[in-house]
């Protein structure tokens, strides 16, 4: 049965944030809200958590996982960023975008796209997520909480707990969440490619 954390959206309680981070550090898998929609998250080195996310979402090996980062400095540890890409990403963060970029050696091989050696990264504009990342001190390995056969992600914490009570270890609830995933932009090639149109305005990359 998943633990349920009711967290204030504007002033996240330190005790609750600490308990969630302890769960993540202990190998737990959480469902948590972002500035786009709910996501599944675990520690970067958590191979079992990665496998559980794949199982819940029925993902193949070509799926791009996302490292949800606290800030640009942290993001830069895990992906290679040219000057041009730096300016483009900096202008769009924090926000509702996921960027696919070549990974550095800091990223475990199992997280990489098998052919491209790329990984997704993003910096959300969400106080609860920022509080979690501040406490954790490293990115959350994440994937959008979109269940197989579902047209949209769940929007409410109690709904997520009901759906995934036996599949995750914790559910973070900070109020109603959106249904539109991030806009995904592949910046690993010579030209930006909008892979998925979502909550972030894709026009700036088209």
Average pLDDT, the chain: 95
Q: How would residue 64 be classed by pLDDT, with cut points 50, 70 and 90? A: confident
pLDDT tens-place string over residues 144-186: 999 998 999 999 999 999 999 999 999 999 999 999 999 999 9
How far is 142 from 163, CA to CA, in rounded Å?
18
Q: Identify the bridge partners of residue 196 per DSSP, sorted by sequence position.
A: 184
Predicted confidence at residue 82, as pLDDT, reads 93
Chain centroid to CA 90: how far?
18
Predicted confidence at residue 67, as pLDDT, reads 98
Strands 140-144, 193-196: pairing is unpaired
Instruction: Report how many domains make up the chain.
Output: 1
Q: For the purposes of burial, counting CB atoms within 10 Å of the CB of 201, is it exposed (0-12), middle (13-18) or buried (19 or more)?
A: middle
pLDDT tens-place string over residues 98-118: 999 999 999 999 888 888 899
- Residue 101 near residue 188, CB atoms below 8 Å: yes
Phi, psi of 25, deg, nearest 5 = -65, -30
Query: By residue range, what is the domain housing residue 47?
Result: 3-205
How far is 128 from 174, CA to CA, in rounded Å?
8
How far is 167 from 163, CA to CA, in rounded Å?
8
CATH number, domain of 83, equals 3.90.870.10
Q: For the purposes of burial, counting CB atoms within 10 Å of the CB of 160, is it exposed (0-12), middle (13-18) or buried (19 or more)?
A: buried
Angle among Cα 19, 51, 112 to the nearest 5 degrees reads: 100
């Amino acid at each position: 049965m998943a633990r349920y954390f009711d967290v204030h959206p504007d002033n996240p309680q330190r005790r609750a944030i600490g308990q969630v981070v302890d769960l993540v550090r202990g190998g737990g898998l959480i469902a948590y809200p972002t500035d786009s929609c709910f996501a599944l998250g675990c520690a970067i080195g958590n191979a079992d958590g990665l496998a559980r996310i794949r199982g819940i979402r029925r993902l193949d090996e070509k799926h791009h996982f996302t490292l949800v980062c606290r800030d640009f400095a942290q993001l830069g540890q895990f992906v290679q960023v040219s000057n041009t890409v730096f300016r483009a990403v900096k202008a769009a963060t924090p926000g509702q975008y996921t960027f696919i970029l070549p990974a550095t050696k800091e990223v475990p091989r199992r997280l990489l796209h098998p052919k491209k050696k790329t990984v997704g990264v993003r910096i959300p504009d969400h106080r609860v997520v920022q509080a979690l990342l501040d406490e954790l001190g490293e990115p959350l390995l994440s994937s959008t909480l979109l269940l197989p056969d579902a047209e949209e992600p769940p929007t409410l914490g109690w709904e997520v707990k009901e759906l995934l009570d036996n599949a995750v270890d914790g559910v973070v609830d900070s109020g109603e969440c959106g249904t539109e995933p991030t806009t995904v932009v592949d910046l690993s090639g010579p030209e930006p490619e909008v892979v998925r149109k979502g909550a972030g305005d894709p026009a700036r990359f088209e």
